[in-house]
Structures are given as C-alpha cells and as structure tokens.
Amino acid sequence: MNPLVLSALNVQTVLVGIVVLLLVYKLRQKWKYKLPPGPFAWPVIGNYEVIRAKFLHEIFATYIKTYGPVFTVQLGPFQMVVLNDIESVTEALVKRKADFANRPYLPSLVKFSNGRKNIVFANYTPTWKLHRKIAGKALRQYLAGKHLEEVLHTSMHKCLPLMAEEKGNLIQNLLLI
C-alpha cells in the first residue's frame, strides 16, 4: 500500500480514538455522580463561557433562569456545584455540613499547605475537628480581655515610626527622580 494512505489511516484512527475516549469520559462522569443540571461542558476544557467570563455573577445569573438556583459548572477537569440561594446554602452548610465539608484535591493546594496539614485545606476528619477546636479555644483566650488591645498598641507604636520613615524615604526618592 501507499505510505501516504497508511499515514492518513493512522491519523484518522488516532482522531477517532480520541473522540471515542472523550465521549466515554463524558458519559462516565455523567453516570458517576448524580449532579444537578448545568450548561454543556467540553470534556477537558469545561464550560467555555464560564472560563472566559469577566464577571462570574453575570453568567451565573443567566444560568439561574435556565437551571435553577443549584447547578453544575465545570472548570477544566473539575466539576463544581454552585449554590445560589439562601435555602440551598443553609441546607449545605448547616443541615448537611459533614457531606460538604471536604476540600477538593488540587496539587497546588497540597504543595501550598504542606500536604494539607492545616485547618484551612485539610479534609473533614476527627483530627481536623480536634485541631479546629483547639485553635478556636486558643483564639478566644487570646482575644479575650485587654491582651489583644495591648499587643496592638505596642505593635502600632513600633510600626508607625517605621512607616513615617519609609514615607520620608519614598518622598526623597521621588524628588530625586
């Protein structure tokens, strides 16, 4: 056979394979979770309209009219459920808080938070609950009484002269330019 024909067949086979893989990926995602309805999302890219939007609240306002106050959007490979009314937010954060407490796994957050070992990015576990309780007690104890006010006053007495000196240096540098 002609090498040009084999090359064309290989390109067509690869393209068909990619389309089939993307289709299977999309169907698997749809069947894997029972998510609320949302706009069409490309398999790897996500919702193009949401990605290129300057103001998300305007896009979400149009989605509320079509899909209701709870809908799904996809940013890249990540699917997110958007809650847009007080009833759904109250149900998610108050009534069913344990179901909505975990954080998404993002490699950048893992790197940033030293393996998710802090209160902000850690998953909802008994250890997390204990750490949060200890941190809350420590903050309440630290913020109680005159202690915080004294610390703020001493810090400001140290900081204000430094800021005035920096402002003077800044004005001198601007005059020299």
Q: Is the pLDDT of residue 75 over 70?
A: yes
Per the structure, the count of domains in the chain is 2
pLDDT at 128: 85
Would residue 165 count as lying in a domain? yes
Average pLDDT score over the chain: 80
The residue among 32 and 60 whose pLDDT is bigger is 60
* Range 143-152 average pLDDT: 79
Please indicate, yes or no, whether the overall pTM of this predicted structure exceeds 0.75.
no
Domain containing residue 150:
145-177
Would residue 152 count as lying in a domain? yes
pLDDT at 90: 92
Would residue 6 count as lying in a domain? yes
Tell me how far CA of residue 174 lies from CA of 62, 146, 161, 165, in angstroms.
49, 41, 20, 14
Instruction: List b or e across 82-96, with b for residues whose CB sees 16 or more CB atoms inside 10 angstroms.
Output: bbbeeebeeebeeee
Q: Which residues pair with 149 in a beta bridge?
A: none
Residue type, 68: G
Would residue 95 count as lying in a domain? no
Report the distance separating Cα 43 and Cα 80, nearest Å.
14
Would residue 2 count as lying in a domain? yes
Would residue 134 count as lying in a domain? no
Would residue 113 count as lying in a domain? no
Instruction: Kindly indicate the confidence band of residue 8, based on its pLDDT and cuts at 50, 70 and 90.
Output: low
Would residue 49 count as lying in a domain? no
The residue among 146 and 176 whose pLDDT is bigger is 146
Residues with Cβ within 8 Å of 68's Cβ and at least 6 positions away in sequence, in order, are: 36, 37
